[in-house]
A = this chain, B = another copy of it.
């Protein structure tokens, strides 16, 4: 993985340090847990005979995507063109830009299609298909297109019952410069309704859409669903699909634990933070993790406020300003002697995608020592 960290950046100086030497707040990644989470998902896909198309949006690192793909660097889906370009530069291929295509994307999509063996776009509208049909792909290439289907998530995608699905598939298939690659659904409703419902409905609905497309005379080689809750709680019917594309499973988080995806012990990331002050007259201490170190997601979802303090179930992160967190006990008086100024605490985040995005790099730790720093990409 050396090529990923060719350029020096501040974090590389931390390799070899123990966690308690790090500047705080720090996003700490437990390498054995990430490796286990990635291996488990590859095994799930192998078991059901489907391809894992790993979503890279949670970590946005080369090293994380190498683990997600089991070292093949093949078959990923990204949330931004910026990620797709980073991975393309680092010898990844079979990359899907998993975001509704709009005309503005075309110059960068052209370049990625030219560079990679297989680069795919995602569409859910006639405007997007018009854009592709009106513009020539790079010489010797075709636009490779996934049709996004909405199976209950109510975000992007053609509603699964809507005949626009087969109509757009026919249009794409019939356009000389495009290849209809298949259908894709993000079962994000697994975060808001029972996971098994969202998962099973998504599978059934995608298979129904695929049948309608095939009945319209269009081959539908790829049928994929994804979300960490559904893929960490898989079912035999997944055999009928061809792809799964979860993303958060690399790190997991407190939210996933509430959805049955994992235990706290599976969560592969945490924020290291230090106690910066004692305020006994308010029964409160302050830490150096504010909303820039954790994000403000999760309020109202946990008894312990904005996060879970590992090993300290009585602590509540009850407020945050930009750089400061306010910590109070859920019950009783805070035992300040247990939390000296300068001492370290570890917060499990509610939503690791949101927390990871606040960091320019991660400290990757094995048995308490920093063994690597993973630089993330950001922007669009």
- A interface residues (Cβ-Cβ under 8 A, vs B): 10, 23-26, 57, 79-81, 99-100, 102-104, 124-125, 127-128, 154-156, 159, 162, 188, 274-278, 281-282, 286, 288, 291-293, 295-297, 321-324, 326, 340-342, 353-354, 357-361, 378-380
Contacts and interface: CB of A to CB of B under 8 A. Distances in A.
15 contacts: A10-B379, A23-B81, A23-B104, A23-B380, A24-B104, A127-B341, A128-B341, A155-B286, A291-B295, A291-B297, A291-B354, A292-B354, A296-B297, A322-B354, A357-B358
Given A127-B341, A353-B322, A277 B360 contact: no
Contacts of A295: 291, 295-296
A99 B321 contact: no
A134 to B, nearest CB: 13
Contact of A323 (B10, B99, B278, B323): B99
Contacts of A379: 10, 359-361
Given A291-B354, A297-B296, A324 B104 contact: no
Nearest to A297: B296
Contact of A322 (B79, B104, B342): B79
A108 to B, nearest CB: 8
Given A25-B380, A354-B291, A342 B103 contact: yes
A102 B359 contact: no
A57 B322 contact: yes
A50 to B, nearest CB: 24
Given A99-B323, A125-B278, A360-B378, A342 B104 contact: yes
A71 B49 CA distance: 64
B341 A102 contact: yes
A357 B282 contact: no
A281 B159 contact: yes
Could you say how many copies of this chain the assembly holds?
2
Contacts of A100: 276-277, 286
Which secondary structure characterizes the binding site on chain A? Answer: loop
A156 B277 contact: yes
Nearest to A98: B323
A223 to B, nearest CB: 21
A109 to B, nearest CB: 12
Contacts of A26: 380
B342 A274 contact: no
A321 B154 CA distance: 12
A57 B322 CA distance: 9
Nearest to A130: B341
A350 to B, nearest CB: 11
A24 B380 CA distance: 7
Nearest to A354: B291
Closest A-B pairs by Cβ, 8 of them: A127-B341, A102-B342, A100-B276, A360-B379, A103-B342, A79-B323, A100-B277, A102-B276
Nearest to A282: B154
Nearest to A323: B79
A292 B24 contact: no
Contacts of A275: 102
A102 to B, nearest CB: 5
B359 A274 contact: no
A59 to B, nearest CB: 12
